[in-house]
Structures are given as structure tokens and as C-alpha cells.
A and B are shown apart, each in its own frame.
Chain A
Amino acid sequence: MKTEQLIRAMAADTTPVRPAEAVLPLTLLAAVAFGALVFAVTMGVRPELAEVFLTAPVLLKQTFPIVMAVAALGAVVRLSRPEARLDGWTWALMLAPAMVVAAFWVTASTTPIADWPAAIMGETALDCFLSVSILGLLTLAGALWALRRGASTHPRLSGALAGLLSGSTAAAAFAVFCTEDNPMFWGVWYILGIGVVTGIGAIEGRRRLRW
């Protein structure tokens, strides 16, 4: 088939297009909401959440993944346009890690070194790590599916950002349930869980976000 004939066939395909940038955030949020719902049904909310919510460690534990998720969402939607660059989103992406590092550092500097292992390990390290990873991977599957509508020219980076979004939302949901509030605990295990989902997102993105 000649190129001009192919063009004729494509021009006849006047199926209306909806702008990806309008649809993408909604489908991504649907994936995220689905993950959070699965979580709410299986785990629930810690009973004394209302009483402790306004203490600094709990507030931070709850907000940093949300800040991370918002930045990752903005960045990944931005990058779904082929010509786009991250620009200012790079800075937005650093905000949450800075919050975690600061919280970890402040706590560590007031904790005797002998108590560090206990503070980091807490009582539910494995639970926490696994819950964030597994819930995050569930969400990641939906997020990658949604992103196929986009046209990222950086599939691996887009995949990683999808993982960051999914892992962070999972962490935000898990934080509602989790009773361990020490920044030295969540600064390690939440980040590890999010990191695993981000890494798998990068690997999968390279494969699944090609077009």
C-alpha cells in the first residue's frame, strides 16, 4: 500500500478524539481510588486516628505520601505528551523526599544510637513493607493501563512515575491503618515499599508504554 493510500484510509477514520490530558488524570485517579478502596475494605482505619491525627509525626506520615502522589500525578500526566519535559515538576517531586529526610533526621538526632534499631524496625516492618508494595503494584497495573492512552517519549521514566504515584497512594492509604508513628520507622519502610513499586514501574513502563 502506498503512503498516500494509507493517508486516505487514516483520514477516513474520523473517530472523534478526546484530549488525552483531559481524560488521563481521571482514569489515573480511578485506578488510585480503586486501590484505596481495596485497602479500606481489607484493612480499615486505626481506631484512635482522630485523637492522634494532629500530632506532628502522624500528620507528616499522612501528608508526605499525598504530596508525593500529587507531584507524581502531575509529572506523569505532563510527560504523557511526546514533546513535554518535566521542568518545574522535578522540584515538586523533591518536596516529599525532603519532608521524609527532615523528619527522619530530627527524630534520629534526638534518639540515642543504641535505640535506633528498635526505632527503625518497629513491630510491623514486614507488614508495612508488604502492604505498601502489594497495594501499590495493584494500583500500578491500573495506572500503566491508563497511561497507554498517552504518548510518552520516555517510557521508562513515565513507568517509574506511575510507580511512584501508585506506591505513594498505597502508603497514604496504609498510613490510615498503621499505628507506628515513629519517622524512623515509616521513613524507612514506607520509602522501601514505594521504591519497589517505582522500580517495577520503570521496568514495566519500558515494556508497556512503548508505542
Chain B
Amino acid sequence: MRSDREPPLDDLLRAANRGDRRAYATFLGAATPIVRGIARSRGAGLGPETCEDIVQETLLAIHQKRQTWREDAPVRPWLYAIVRFKVVDAFRARGRRVHVSIDDFADVLPADAGPDPTERSDAERVISRLDPRSARIVRAIGQEGASIAELSATLEMTETAVRVALHRGLRKLAVLREGMIE
């Protein structure tokens, strides 16, 4: 597994909270297979797209709630508690009752995305419901790999304004995804 080579998740998230985006991307990248493993093990029959939607909802929740991690506490119990809560919640919203216990995190194998890319996911539909500017910023950074500085130039906004629009866009995304399934 990855954890042999990469720094521990605690260090990554601590660095991320101080603005290190590379550490944050690595942290989220390391959390994703764990979330996906749990979602897939519970979601037999739901299809890989729906499972991936659940993964994305959970990642957005981690992002929105990252300030609730206390830096002197181990990060895994915190992470697992969020994953457990969100995965159960996401299944409930889709009319399924699942049970996730903390022990499952030791048993379930982390899963890779697999060959089937989920372009046709909820995320795409939800992004199109953001205000046009936020939608454009989220897409440009996510899909085209644009930087804040580049966007600030092309959109004629200050870098701070781009950051704020991105931040609000992601927050709105989390709220919309929560609401649109029911």
C-alpha cells in the first residue's frame, strides 16, 4: 500500500491546514481508496457510478469539515468517523440501510477507481447548478488543471476573489449534493 512511502496522513493533513495544497491533494488521494472500498463493499448492485458519487460526496464532506480535526489527535479515527457517517447517510438518501462499523476499516480492502471513469456522475449535474462563475472556476481547476493565478488573469478577478468563489462553489456543491438525491 501507499502508506509505506508517503508521510503519515496526520502530517499530510496538518500541512494541508497550513495551506500546503500538494500535501492536501496527497491526503485526499490516500483517503479516496479507503472511502471507495467501504462504499463498494456496501453498494453491491448500485453500480460503480453511484458508488463513485458516494465517494465524492464523502470527500466533499471531509473537505467541508476539515476544521473539526484536532491536530493533536490521530487523524484516522476522525477520518473513519466522517466516512462512516457520510456513507451511511448517502445510502440512506438512496433508500438503502447499511451498517458500517469502525472494524470494517481494517477488513475492507482499499479500492482503486478501476477502468470505468465516472464522467456521467451527479457531480457534473450539480456543478451546472452553481452560479456560472463558480462552476467555471471549479471546472477549470479540476478538469483543466488551471491555477488560481491563471484564472485570476483570464477572468479579470483578483486571486482572492477566485479563491473565495472556489471556496463558496465547493461548499455549495456539498449542500446541493446533499439535497438533490432526496
Contacts and interface: CB of A to CB of B under 8 A. Distances in A.
Majority DSSP secondary structure for residues of B touching A: helix
Contacts, number: 122
A6 to B, nearest CB: 6
Contacts of B142: 1, 5-6, 8-9
A6 B148 contact: no
Q: What 10 A-B pairs have minimum CB-CB distances, sorted nearest first? A: A5-B142, A9-B142, A82-B81, A83-B81, A11-B25, A151-B65, A17-B67, A1-B123, A83-B77, A151-B68
A2 B59 CA distance: 12
A48 interface: no
Contact of B67 (A1, A5, A10, A19): A19
A18 B66 CA distance: 9
Contacts of A211: 61, 64-65, 174, 178
A210 B64 CA distance: 12
Majority DSSP secondary structure for residues of A touching B: loop
Interface of B: 16-22, 24-25, 28-29, 32, 52, 55-56, 59-61, 63-71, 73, 77-78, 80-82, 84-85, 89, 113, 117-119, 121, 123-124, 127, 138-139, 141-143, 145, 147-148, 163-164, 166-167, 170, 174, 178
Interface string A1-27: 111111111111111111111000000
Contact of B17 (A17, A80, A151): A17
21 contacts: A1-B139, A2-B117, A2-B118, A3-B56, A10-B24, A10-B59, A12-B141, A12-B148, A13-B63, A14-B24, A15-B167, A16-B18, A18-B67, A19-B68, A82-B68, A83-B73, A83-B78, A83-B80, A83-B81, A151-B65, A211-B61
A89 to B, nearest CB: 16
Interface of A: 1-21, 80-83, 149-151, 153, 210-211
Contacts of A14: 19-21, 24, 163
